[in-house]
Each structure stands twice: as C-alpha cells, then as structure tokens.
Structure 1
Amino acid sequence: MLIETNRRTFIKKAGLSMAGFYYFPHLMRKPAPSDTVRVALIGINGMGLNHLRWFAGITEVEIAALCDVDENHLKKAAETLKEIRPDAKPKLFTDFRRILDDPEIDAISCATPDHWHAQVAIMAFQASKDVYGEKPLSYTLREGELMFEAMKANNRIFQLGTQIHAGDNYHRVAELIQAGVIGKVHNVKLWKTGSPPVFEKATYQDVPKELNWDFWQGPAPERRYHPERCHVSYRYFLDYSGGIFQDFWCHIADIVWWSINPQKLESISATGSKSAGIGDTPDSINIEYKFKKLDLSWSSEIPDVPGAGTKHIGAFFTGDKGTMLADYSSREIRIDGEVLKDIEDIPKTILRSPGHQQNFIDCVKTRQQPESNLAYAKEMTKPMHLGLISWKLGRPLAWNYKKNEFKGDIEANNLLFRPYRDGYNWIGA
C-alpha cells in the first residue's frame, strides 16, 4: 500500500535525516524539488527587499508569497523578484494573516516596523510556520517572552536578523575571549554615534490611496497620518521604535552576549536628550548597567579607550590580563603593551556559519535552532528594553533578575508591555 506523505512532512523528515550534515550544510546545496522550502515575506520595503534578495539567492527556497500594507511596495518587490527569478509566481497579499492561512507555506520572514514584530511571529508560530525575524526582536520585553513561549509550544524555528553574527570576525572575537586571552572580563563599553534626523513639523496630509494606514499602525496608538511617521522614518517615533539606540543595540551587544553571556543584571541608569523636532526618540543616550560581576555601558559618543579613534560603533572589553576592541569586521587585542590582531595558537572552536539566511533554511530542515536563536536573542535584547525605560522615566532603576521585573516600581513595570490597540490584539495578550 502506497502511503502519500505531504510536502511539509517530507521536509521535516528529510531534515531530521540531515542532522548529521548540519555542520556541513554546503554539502547539500542541490536539493530535490520536494526538498524546497516555501518562504513568504511580510514587510517588503527597505530591509524587506534585502530579505527578498537573500532568500531568492538560496537554491532550495521558493518565495511563495509577498505581503505589505502598501501596494506600491508589493509592486516593487514583485518586480525585483522577477528580475532575480523570472519564473517566480508569488501570491501577493496586503494582510499577512492570509499567508498564515496557507498550509503550504513553511516559513516567513518579517521585516515590518518594530511594533509589529512580536504579533507577526507569534501568529506565525501558532500557524506552524518558522520565522526569520528582523531586529529588534520585539517592541517590548514581555513580547519577547510571549514569542519564546509560542515558539516552544508549537515546536518552531526562529532566527533573529543579526546578519553580522554570521561573520568570521564575531566568531573569532568570541573564541579569543572565551579562551581567556584577556583574562576575566569585568568591564565592557559599547557605543554607537549618530543623531536621528530632525523633522521640524508634521506635514499632515491625506493617506495615500495605496497605503492601509490603520493596518500599518496596527497595535500602536492611533495617530493622524503624516509621512514623517511612516515608512523608514517611523524609527524615530517611540510609538513604533526606539531610534538609533534600538536600531543598533543588538548588532554590537551581540558580540558581548556571545563572548561572555552577562548574567544577573542588578541596575540600569540612563541619561540623555530627546531628538529635536517632532521625533521623540533619544538624540543621545548613555546607560550604565551593573551586573553581578560586570559593569557594562552604552554611549552615543566614542569612548576614550585605546584604538577607538574614529570608530562610530564598537565594543571594548577590559579583562584582568588585557583588553579587546571589536567592531563588525576588526579586532585589536592589547596585552602587556603589545597590540595583536589575533593569537594563532588559540584554535577555532566555534563552527563557522554557512551564511545567516542559509543557516535559517538549513535549520527549517534539521529542526535544530539556528545561530541567533530566540532563547539567545531575548536575553541579549532585554537590556535594550530596560535601558530605554530608564531613559523614558529619567531615573535609575533596580532590576530583580530572579523575578524578571523591576524592584518595587509599578511605573517602570508597566512599561515592560504596551497593551495593543483595540482591534489589533490578535494574540490575546
């Protein structure tokens, strides 16, 4: 008797049989048609177009659907995909829920504005879809916890879009620090320079006919439309994001959590100014974090540390034997006055990535969690949320790491989650 196995079940079973090849995914780049992973893209402007190009460049991926609340974005994305894959015939949607209804979709990528990240991911998990999610992980801390619970409950795969994580430099920095070349790390300085754009006033106007503005706002507070508040520049309004700080935190904090995994956060103290004009995210922000055995800081200015020079983003580790300066693509070790790029005697102990998006697709098949997995991402993202809360309130905050809440501070704890706007609470949070 012939038992027919549907395509999604086949992929899962085939993936499990591939587990032995997980660390060598390049050996399996020519899949059979039945091994194709069908991906849908939600939010396809800006970074979403990068998602499209990345996934369209992976042989075993079929981009089966595109979704955006702006029909102009849909048209542009469909044309871009056609240039890369002339035979592509994706379904087009303006409501991402229609994608989740399709049982033949295996995974989604989400590059919506920040305030939509959590609900899209949670609903995708509930619909048995795996998720490649753009950073930041979520708009609030509690949303990250809800995402993790939904992922576990539905046995799903998640990769956070921290593409720099896949590069060799971050792998090597983590190896060197974990090998103890600078000793026990007791202080880390993080920084990212730059100010947000200044919007002098809101240019209120009618909503463009191709844009569903109500859906774009979704769970965020309802506001009158003006273009400064929408595509791309939404990032500089606290209704949707946290400005430059929230945009870049995970890219550089990633190497800290990977290298030393800070534990037992005790306090957060943020200062800084608000951006000029109608935007309300930080123009500058300086944060002091105190962990049980580590002091960590964030600054909008380049710190006075050896080698920082004109680096506009970086991490400076201080250990009891030396220091390490790192950014996206370089590193400098200082020990006893000597400056080194590497220490060849330290072996490579961290397996290299096949590519960030390829790693995700491989894991959809093997059912192993990828490099920037959700358990890791939510802990790495947590201090970002807490630092922004301290900045909003304008005062230091004490953190109870055992209870995962602020100590005796109702006002601060209320900011760990923002209730969703009526009509857009689709996960019952």
Structure 2
Amino acid sequence: MNRRKFIHQSVVAGIGLGLLHRFSPSARAAAPASANSRLRVAIAGLNSRGIALIQCFASLPNTEIAYLCDVDDRALAKGLAATAKVQTSVPKTIKDFRRALEDKDVDALGIATPDHWHAPMTIMALAAGKHVYVEKPCSHNPHEGELLLQAVAKYGRLVQMGNQRRSFPAMQEAIAQIHAGAIGRAYFARGWYTNARPSIGRGKLAPVPAWLDYELWQGPAPRRPFNDNVIHYKWHWHWHWGTGEALNNGTHEMDVCRWALGGTHPTKVTSSGGRYHYQDDWETPDTQVIGWEYADGKSMSWEGRSCNSYPIEGRSRGAMVHGTEGSALLDGEYYAFYDPKNKLIKEVKPGSAVDSTNTLSSTGLEADKAHFRNFADAIREGAKLTSPISEANPSVTMLHLGNIAARVGRTLQCDPTNGRIQHDAEAAKLWRRDYEPGWEPKV
C-alpha cells in the first residue's frame, strides 16, 4: 500500500461514525417552519431504488434535491440525469454523504444504500439534525434497530422507513376493515414473494474499479478484498452486507401482516429452507419458510422463493389474513375480502376510489409518492408518520429473527417485550454484528 492510500484509509476509518460527535445540538438543522417552507433533501445511494427516491421527492411541492451522494461515479452521473428530468435546479454531486450532513441548509436525508449502511447512516444523519427517509430494511441486524429507536429519542428528528404500503389508501382502508371485524377475529396471516432470479456465479478477487470508492462502500462492515460479483445488487445474498430475500422483499408483506394482526414481538420463531436452486456464491436462502408465534394466540408465516416464480394465490407477492369469519387478500393497491365459504364479497382494484378523498393510482411509483408526501407533511406540519421507526422496527426484527433461526438451524424462543433471543447463546450472538474498528454505530 502506498503512503497516499494509507493516509486516506486511515483518515476515513478514523472519522468513521465518530462524525456523530461533531454535531452539537446548536448546529443541527432546524425543521422547516411551515407548510410553505422549502424542503431541501440529500439522497444517498443512486442505483435502483435511489432513482425512485429522486422521482418521488422531486414530485413534492416546494421540495428540492440539493445533494446526490454515491460511491460510484457512474451512479452519480445516472442520478444527475434523472434529477434533470424532474427539477430545474442542479444538485451537488458528492461521493461522501457526510459532506451533505455538514450543510445546515439540508433538512432531510433519503437513504437507498446497501443494507449494512442503513442504520449507521441514519444515526449519523439524526445526530447532524436531519430527518431521514430510509429504505427497508432500516437495519442489518436487530441490535441496529434498537440503536435507531435510541437515536430518534435522543435527537428528536423523524425517521420514516420505506415500507410504503403503510401509506397506500387501499391498504389503510383494508386494514381498518380488518381491525373493525370484517373477517371476524383475525388470527393467522401469511405473506409470500416469488421471483426467477438467475445464478450469481462464482466471483473472483479483482482490482477495485476506478469508478468506485470501495473503502466508503464498505463503511461499517469489516474489510474484505474486492470481489467482482458483489457490487452492485448481489451483495443482497451475502450475510456480510445483506439480509437475504426475507428482508429485501419479505419486509413489505410481513409488515402488512403484522399491521393487520397487531402485536409487536413473537415468542417463537422457526425457519426452514436454504440455497437450493443453484450452487454459487449466494449465501442466504433462495427458498425459505419462516413461522412466528405470538403470545396473544396469533401466528404468521412467510414463504420466499427467489428462483422459482410460480405464484401463490395467482400473485407473485402478497399477503393473506385469515379470521373466524373469512379471509382477506392484500397486495399493494389491491384487496379482496372473502366470507367463510370463500365467496368474494368485496374487491378493490388499482384505480378504484376507496373513499371521498383518495384515489388509487394504477402505477406503483405513483402510489409510493403518498409515503413521501406523508414524510414531508410530518416535517412541515407535524402530521403523524405512517411508518415511524418505532412501528417499522418490529416488522424488520421479526424477519431478522427468521434469518437467525435459519442460520443456527433451530427454533428460537424470544422475549415478547423486545424480541430478544432467550436460552440460546449461539443464536443470541447474531443479534448484532462485528464492525470495522472506528466505524461502530453509537448513540
């Protein structure tokens, strides 16, 4: 390693998450004062979902994307081109998101980075006085979820997770009807997700590409040499950076299930499955069934098939809630209720008016915008967040527990007050991860 590179890496690691302590309460950005205040947003992570964040934030009235942040030069260019289509002002483009946190005029940070960055970056932004919109799953492990709750309480800023179904008018109406007894006493909910993902093959060690700041991409994760089939997206299937399909997609459906049934943390968690379809570098399950039991006599399950797309209930993804007087099928902007004899009694499709003030859109991105509007309204006007971290975190934690059960190969017994694993020291070690020295998230 040459001297210049050594100094660069030492400085980056040294300031790491210690940047948290650079921001005193007096230096934190103040929230906009009224509904007419301009909201200035920085967006970190510009591949895939990051482009959706650009489009959704730019659609909000009096909102400006002020910074685009990504460790990939190509992604910065792509993000800049996408922003030019939706706003006239040109955002600053930077590799290191921490520079945006130093700008007192930035009100909020949108996060669409790899999973291992979600919680550490959120905590850093909160400490800098910013509000945060963070894509699911919001944490890489259950311990980080606990830190997020502490950070929100300490820094007094808002965090909305990107489980956007919480803001879909159709889902809000369907859940309200379930809570009102439309299917009697709801006691079992199941979610699913299917896809036909190809093999990721076998990667090899390679030089870090010139367009990538790999040091910053790794951030809080313990250092590993660059492998040519991790970046981008394939990190999802490595425990070191990702959380598998259960949290990549299962978060959406299982959050809907938990929303419908209520309850916070399970008493028992089981998982079966594995990497079956291909033999390659993919570590997390491509086929998985997770089960949760709750103290109030309710249970849930999730089935994920990453490499076999045969649908369930005729749909590639969705949730079904069963009760004493019928069942409900829930899928984003669609829902249907069935009576005890399985007769369809109500159906709402995309584009249908669900009440006097809301109309469902026929496109997913348009529906997502409601979640961003709710976030902006909460900042400007004090509206109630539809998915604050206090409500989102239990849905994420239950899936983390499912992955832990899969990794240790046995049933977990959990404390229903906080989800903590009981009577299993080996499994309990997976409640948190190891961090690169100097990058440990702290509140």
- TM-score normalised according to structure 1 size: 0.86
- CA change 1:397–1:221 in 2 (3 A) is same
2:114 is equivalent to residue 110 of structure 1: no
- Separation in 2 of the partners of 1:259 and 1:208? 46
In the TM superposition, residue 102 of structure 1 has moved relative to its aligned partner by 1.1
Match for residue 412 of structure 1?
427
In the TM superposition, residue 8 of structure 1 has moved relative to its aligned partner by 5.9
Match for residue 272 of structure 1?
273
Q: Which one is further off, 398-407 or 108-117?
A: 398-407
In the TM superposition, residue 39 of structure 1 has moved relative to its aligned partner by 0.5
2:346 is equivalent to residue 341 of structure 1: yes
2:336 is equivalent to residue 332 of structure 1: yes
Aligned with 2:85: secondary structure? helix
- Separation in 2 of the partners of 1:45 and 1:106? 22
In the TM superposition, residue 40 of structure 1 has moved relative to its aligned partner by 0.6
Correspondences of 1:51-62 after superposition (within 5 Å): 51-62=53-64
Q: Which one is further off, 327-336 or 132-141?
A: 327-336
Aligned with 1:370: secondary structure? coil
One-letter amino acid matched to 2:427: A
One-letter amino acid matched to 2:63: V
2:404 is equivalent to residue 389 of structure 1: yes
2:143 is equivalent to residue 128 of structure 1: no
Match for residue 205 of structure 1?
206
Q: Which one is further off, 362-371 or 409-418?
A: 362-371
- Separation in 2 of the partners of 1:424 and 1:403? 26
- Separation in 1 of the partners of 2:358 and 2:425? 44
In the TM superposition, residue 368 of structure 1 has moved relative to its aligned partner by 4.1
- Separation in 1 of the partners of 2:107 and 2:439? 25
The percent identity for this pair of structures is 29
One-letter amino acid matched to 2:93: L
Q: Are the equivalent residues in 2 in contact too, given 1:171–1:350 (CA < 8 A)? A: no
2:56 is equivalent to residue 42 of structure 1: no
- Separation in 2 of the partners of 1:209 and 1:172? 50
2:288 is equivalent to residue 285 of structure 1: yes
Q: Are the equivalent residues in 1 in contact too, given 2:412–2:421 (CA < 8 A)? A: yes
In the TM superposition, residue 195 of structure 1 has moved relative to its aligned partner by 5.2
Q: Are the equivalent residues in 2 in contact too, given 1:175–1:349 (CA < 8 A)? A: no
- Separation in 1 of the partners of 2:113 and 2:265? 32
Q: Are the equivalent residues in 2 in contact too, given 1:40–1:99 (CA < 8 A)? A: yes
Correspondences of 1:159-174 after superposition (within 5 Å): 159-174=160-175
Aligned with 2:378: secondary structure? helix
Aligned with 2:267: secondary structure? strand
Match for residue 370 of structure 2?
355
In the TM superposition, residue 181 of structure 1 has moved relative to its aligned partner by 1.2
One-letter amino acid matched to 1:355: A
Q: How big is each residue's C-alpha offset from its partner over 1:21-74, in whole Å with a ceiling of 9 and x where there is no partner?
A: xxxxxxxxxx3xxx1011011111211111111112223111111111111211
- TM-score normalised according to structure 2 size: 0.83
Aligned with 1:300: secondary structure? strand
One of 359, 375, 380 as aligned partner of 2:395: 380
- CA change 1:46–1:341 in 2 (3 A) is same
2:86 is equivalent to residue 71 of structure 1: no
- Separation in 2 of the partners of 1:384 and 1:208? 34
One-letter amino acid matched to 2:34: A
In the TM superposition, residue 210 of structure 1 has moved relative to its aligned partner by 1.4
Aligned with 1:210: secondary structure? coil
- Separation in 2 of the partners of 1:261 and 1:312? 25
Q: How big is each residue's C-alpha offset from its partner over 1:267-304, in whole Å with a ceiling of 9 and x where there is no partner?
A: 111110125301101110111211121121111369xx
- Separation in 1 of the partners of 2:355 and 2:84? 41
In the TM superposition, residue 196 of structure 1 has moved relative to its aligned partner by 4.3
- Give the count of matched residue pairs: 396
Match for residue 312 of structure 1?
316
- CA change 1:322–1:72 in 2 (3 A) is same
Match for residue 295 of structure 1?
299
- Separation in 1 of the partners of 2:203 and 2:305? 29
- Separation in 2 of the partners of 1:342 and 1:46? 32
One-letter amino acid matched to 2:330: A
Match for residue 92 of structure 1?
93
Match for residue 402 of structure 1?
417
Q: Which one is further off, 389-398 or 188-197?
A: 188-197
Aligned with 2:286: secondary structure? strand
Q: Which one is further off, 360-369 or 110-119?
A: 360-369
Q: How big is each residue's C-alpha offset from its partner over 1:352-406, in whole Å with a ceiling of 9 and x where there is no partner?
A: 9981111111111123441111111011211111000000111111111235411
Q: Are the equivalent residues in 2 in contact too, given 1:65–1:93 (CA < 8 A)? A: yes
Aligned with 2:76: secondary structure? helix
Q: How big is each residue's C-alpha offset from its partner over 1:175-205, in whole Å with a ceiling of 9 and x where there is no partner?
A: 2101101111121222112354312211432
Q: Are the equivalent residues in 2 in contact too, given 1:308–1:325 (CA < 8 A)? A: no
Aligned with 2:433: secondary structure? coil
- CA change 1:264–1:202 in 2 (3 A) is closer
Q: Are the equivalent residues in 2 in contact too, given 1:390–1:397 (CA < 8 A)? A: yes
Structure 1 unaligned spans of 5+: 1-5, 16-30
Correspondences of 1:216-255 after superposition (within 5 Å): 216-255=217-256
Correspondences of 1:120-159 after superposition (within 5 Å): 120-159=121-160
Q: Are the equivalent residues in 1 in contact too, given 2:29–2:128 (CA < 8 A)? A: no
Match for residue 351 of structure 2?
none
- Separation in 1 of the partners of 2:124 and 2:201? 38
One-letter amino acid matched to 1:291: Y
In the TM superposition, residue 132 of structure 1 has moved relative to its aligned partner by 0.5
Q: Are the equivalent residues in 2 in contact too, given 1:333–1:342 (CA < 8 A)? A: yes
Q: Which one is further off, 313-322 or 105-114?
A: 313-322
Q: Are the equivalent residues in 2 in contact too, given 1:39–1:107 (CA < 8 A)? A: yes
Match for residue 14 of structure 1?
34
- Separation in 2 of the partners of 1:218 and 1:151? 22
- CA change 1:336–1:402 in 2 (3 A) is closer
Aligned with 1:219: secondary structure? coil
